[in-house]
Amino acid sequence: MDFFTEEGVVEFLGLQLDDMNRSAPVAERVHHRTYRDAFDEAIRLLFDALAKAVAPDVDEHSWVDVRIRSFLGYAPVLSVLARYLRVGNYQALCEELRSSPSWFASNKSAWLATLGRCVLDS
Confidence label for 57 from pLDDT (cuts 50, 70 and 90): confident
- Check residue 102 and give its pLDDT: 57
Distances 16 to 2, 52, 76, 101, 111 between C-alpha atoms, Å: 19, 24, 11, 27, 26
Mean pLDDT for the chain?
A: 83
Does the residue 99 lie in any domain?
A: yes
Does the residue 73 lie in any domain?
A: yes
How many domains does the structure of the chain reveal?
1
CA distance 115 to 57: 13
Counted residue by residue, the chain has a size of: 122
Structural contact between residues 82 and 20, judged by C-beta atoms closer than 8 angstroms: yes
pLDDT in tens, 2-56: 899 889 999 999 999 999 999 999 999 999 999 999 999 999 999 988 888 888 8
Q: Is the pLDDT of residue 79 over 80?
A: yes
29 vs 111, higher pLDDT = 29
How much of the chain exceeds pLDDT 90, in percent?
53
Does the residue 78 lie in any domain?
A: yes
Nearest of 22, 20, 23 to residue 84 by alpha carbon: 20
Range of the domain at 10: 6-121
106 vs 13, higher pLDDT = 13
Longest Cα–Cα distance of the chain, Å, equals: 49
CB atoms within 10 A of CB 118: 9
pTM, two decimals, is 0.78
Does the residue 55 lie in any domain?
A: yes
Does the residue 1 lie in any domain?
A: no
Distances 116 to 13, 70, 73 between C-alpha atoms, Å: 29, 18, 22
Does the residue 101 lie in any domain?
A: yes
Does the residue 108 lie in any domain?
A: yes
